[in-house]
Amino acid sequence: MKRAKSHQRPVPPSRTALVQIEKPIYGGAFLARLEGKATFVPLVLPGEEVRIRIVEDKRSYATAEPEELAKISPSRIAPRCPHFGPCGGCNYQHADYEIQLAIKQQILRETLHRAGIPAPEHIPMLSGNPWHYRNRIRAAFDRAGRLGYRARRSHDVVPISECPVAAPLLVQAALGAAEILRTSKPTFRPIEISLFCNADETKLLASIYVQGSATQGFDQFAEGWNERVPALVGVELVEQGRLDQEPKQIARWGETSITCQVGGIDYRVDHGAFFQVNRWLIDGLVQRVIAERQGQLAWDLFAGVGLFSRRLAERFTEVAAVEYSPYATQCLRKNLEGTPGRAITSETLAFLRRQQRTPRPDLIVVDPPRAGLGLETTALLGKIAAAEIVYVSCDPTTLARDLRALLAMGYSLASVTLADLFPQTFHLETVVELRRS
């Protein structure tokens, strides 16, 4: 039998090489060239000479791990977290924060350029305190019951004792839960834990993900956890099914939501509902999106719990807030009560398909997931032809693809802002203002 050709060549475990690091690549790695082939290396910086070990060698590129720094960049600093490197959560703690911002600027500009989009000469930055900013974390338990994050390049758990990018309450509560679970040994088997707190760390929601449907001992666990962490107001036990199954809540203790204040407005946020993760920059992000815009009709697509639509409802006669997630829709309706905002339970694409003969909105705000808008959604937005679109993106690659389509349909770039909502990581947020030409 003739074997199929493999696109991956076997790599000798001892294969190493000395390379020059050229530039950052979206995703957290940096580019080097080895015998002309693009080679992606994490935990290094441009200008450094590094001895690398090849871990994967494909036809068009290779990935490697740094073994030794032969020449060190002056921008390199000591990481603040003792788990940096093995832990897969952060990518840039070895770089001064100003260098991190410059890296993200370069990545954004190059991504837009490759898509044929002329980036503005000046891209403003929205940034703040790069530490303790996260209001949400999700961690896993190893076989010994220790709590940690997933490792780089694998699903292994790296046990942690601290996490300097997270709100301290989250780490305190997570480690406390792990200790209680190890000593009490309830019948339910925890796999992962998710925690979410408000900006001042006075209220905390938690989800415990488990295998199986056993719930015995859950109330006692939650009460003991609350005694240790008084800010904890609600815990849910969630059965994590197969990949083709939705997680299912099987037990609950306490409240189902907490209130988060942004710009003087209270927002209800339930278990599992999306809310922007950087507690220092949420106000600034909302202000950048809303600005001084006003008019008759605005649409907020992918509205979540209404972070943008609640503020738009103060400035527009009518606001249509479109959201499909069952975790967010109840919050959205509650957060728009008493305003001109109307919550619409629908997927964005289905909503747009129904809007071809309705009044044209003055403004459309879109905040899609990492996959972006896609071909049909951008085509429908082009036909609707709102005077202005504000696109909030969490992935520069899909943003560039969608912008290219929107520019071809008569829009022009008015401004691009880079919002560093995820310091120490490769993730970057972008706010783009588009106006009808």
Residues designated catalytic: 394
d(CA 415, CA 355): 27
d(CA 86, CA 82): 9
CA angle 216, 222, 227 (to 5 degrees): 140
User: Would you tell me how many other CB atoms lie within 10 Å of the CB of residue 39?
Assistant: 24
Residue type, 270: D
Helices (H), 84-184: 97-114, 168-184
Structure tokens at 291: 């600005």
Structure tokens at 367: 């905040």
Tally DSSP H helices, then E strands, for the chain: 9, 22
Beta-carbon contacts of residue 350 (< 8 Å; ≥ 6 apart) = none
d(CA 73, CA 49): 9
Q: Which of 246, 188, 178 is nearest to 212 (CA)?
A: 188
CA angle 162, 163, 166 (to 5 degrees): 135
Q: Which of 206, 129, 127 is nearest to 171 (CA)?
A: 206
385: left (phi over 0), alpha (psi -120 to 50) or beta: left
Q: Dihedral sign for Cα 159, 167, 427, 401, please.
A: positive
Radius of gyration of the chain (CA): 23
327 touches 257 (CB < 8 A): no
In order, the DSSP letters of 148-173 are EEEBTTSS-EEE-S--TTB-HHHHHH
Structure tokens at 359: 């009044």
Beta bridge pairs of residue 412: 435
